[in-house]
A and B are shown apart, each in its own frame.
Chain A
Amino acid sequence: MAVKIMIPTPLRQYVGKKDQVEVEAKTVAEALSRLASEYGELRRHLYNQEGKLRSFVNIYLGDEDIRFLQKEQTPLKENDVLSIVPSIAGGTALRRVGA
């Protein structure tokens, strides 16, 4: 199945500045794994050292969070759209502002 993966702006630098990447995959796991093999630098932003999807990177199939579907085993259909939605906080790692 050809599916589209929408890349958020902070991660586009790892995929040649593309806003979406098309891959062939039957499940969410397969799609992400294809994406990470094609763009090696992206891997550490998606998976932790144990090879598990990072908990601050959410994956949506259409507008639905895959954690509420069949997680990474969620099957894909032709032309499905996956989105990677990482958590962002505003760019300061430390608590500099009073807020």
Chain B
Amino acid sequence: MGTATLNPISELSKDEILRYSRHLIMPEVGMEGQLKLKKAKVLCIGAGGLGSPLTLYLAAAGVGRLGIVDFDVVDFTNLQRQVIHGTADVGKSKLASARASLREINPNVEVVGFETRLTSENALQLFEGFDIIVDGTDNFPTRYLVNDACVLLGKPNVYGSIFRFEGQASVFYARQGPCYRCLYPEPPPPGLVPSCAEGGVLGVLPGIVGCIQAMETIKLIIGQGQTLIGRLLVFDALGVKFRELKLRKNPDCPVCGTHPTITKLIDYEQFCGIRGEEQTSVMVGIPEITPREVKKMMDEKQPFVLIDVREPHEFQICRIPGSTLIPLGEVPKRMHELDSAGEIVVHCRSGQRSARAVEFLMKAGFRKIYNLKGGILAWSDQVDPSVPKY
């Protein structure tokens, strides 16, 4: 982002001058700022909920080179918040879909796509060619990876994170302030990360947080205002409250502290305990039954009870006929409603929560109890496609 402003007129075309005129007439941006934007190279990790508004606004603002890392494919559940993708894009790669949208918004922007999973092996090399990294990911391992790679390369990391109605934003720039590990030295164990029953996100929330990230990125590029370096912005969408908290550099931070112990990228899934979780979540020894087998039992009128351990609001979306709703959290106090000697099939959305219910009930003495493999999603795939998936 140098100072090549000696002959600025030759660097923006007439069309560009018209396109960016509302920037150019503000002294805080002006020709100098607009040229900085044009020379800037920004890498966005993810073209999803945060990445959508982020890349749309950065492209519109005239950021010269916009990199995007994503290997996912657009699906219908993305459309509620990932506004860079449209209905006709379902099934396409997010990268191709994002590229088409961005080209339509501003053909002057060079979009560089990396259709790959960001890993400890490729992160440093990918980041190398960019000035600013913007974190639009949705999981802890990638967040720690992005942070550490930015610290090691001395690049600013524009952070945004969302969950249901909660948003956070900051700028982690270890050369000038704290990093993500100074804020959160460790991720939550996977068991405490809310399950699909408690997940979800209000669609407009990533729009708000992603726009804040875009704004911070532009401020870093043009060198105006006070960025969120050293501050954490916390947004409560339910109460419409923005709060600001102080972030301090932790001198003992393992990656940006005075005596760092992390000097190269590590295995972030292991760091976040994901591998161990995967092993336990398989839950060896939980008896399973397939949707087709359950359908056969129904057709043959075999006596059994079908328990749905999802939440009431999920039961309203869809259900398997004849099922009884006992949300997972109520299983302990309502298990007396069930006959421990009778045959019981337990299901949820995808089979994780019901596995926990089966495990609990087996410990409580239930013997003829089975987990519906793949949950109601598999039921929809294999038995009754009229049951909507969500």
Contacts and interface: CB of A to CB of B under 8 A. Distances in A.
Contacts of A90: 49-50, 137-139, 161-163, 201
A8 B183 contact: no
Interface in B196-237: 198-201, 232, 234, 236-237
B70 A99 contact: yes
Contacts of A44: 192
Nearest to B50: A90
B248 A65 contact: yes
Interface in A6-38: 6, 8-10, 13, 19
Contact of A93 (B51, B69, B201, B277): B277
Nearest to B268: A95
Interface of A: 6, 8-10, 13, 19, 44-45, 54-56, 58, 60, 63-65, 67-68, 83, 85-99
Contacts of B140: 87, 89, 93
B128 interface: no
Interface residues of B, number: 61
A85 B236 CA distance: 11
Contacts of B163: 9-10, 88-91
Interface string B121-154: 0000000000000001111111100000000000
Contacts of A63: 243-246
A47 B116 CA distance: 37
A9 B274 contact: no
B380 interface: no
Given A56-B188, A83-B245, A89-B143, A98 B166 contact: no
Contacts of B50: 90
A55 B184 contact: yes
B46 interface: yes
B66 to A, nearest CB: 14
B10 to A, nearest CB: 37
A60 B234 CA distance: 12
Interface string B23-55: 000000000000000000000011111110000
